[in-house]
Amino acid sequence: MDESKYENALQIILHAGNAKSSALMAIDAAADGEFDEAERLLAESQAEMGEAHKMQFALTQAEANGDSVDINIILIHAEDHLTMAIMAADIAERMIDLYREVKAK
């Protein structure tokens, strides 16, 4: 994997990790009844995920253009981080809604 592709994989790890952390903090904020903060953190999570997707897209685009991307442990790790961040954000959205319902009752 050339240096720029390696850097892209590391950027996926960075942004996906930030996205996951923000999503989990959003759940904590909702549990405390701080719904504005939960929404802010969820938006932050989505923004970080957008950055991770940009890096992933660059690798996908390189592959589609015939510039093969070597599969290595760093890239696998990056994709794993992104998948977990997506799941954390999806769960956070649902948990925030549930906490809102509980608080309303």
User: For residues 58 and 18, is the Cβ–Cβ distance under 8 A?
Assistant: no
Q: Is 31 exposed, middle or buried (0-12, 13-18, 19+ CB in 10 A)?
A: middle
Q: Is 80 annotated as a binding residue?
A: yes
C-alpha closest to that of 4 among 81, 65, 73, 58: 58
Mark whether 77 is an active-site residue. Answer: yes
Buried b (16+ CB within 10 A) or exposed e, 4-21: ebeebbebbbbbbbbbbb
Question: Which residue among 15, 53, 77, 81 is the active-site one?
Answer: 77
Annotated binding site for Mg(2+): 80
Task: Just list the catalytic residues.
Answer: 77
Annotated binding site: 80
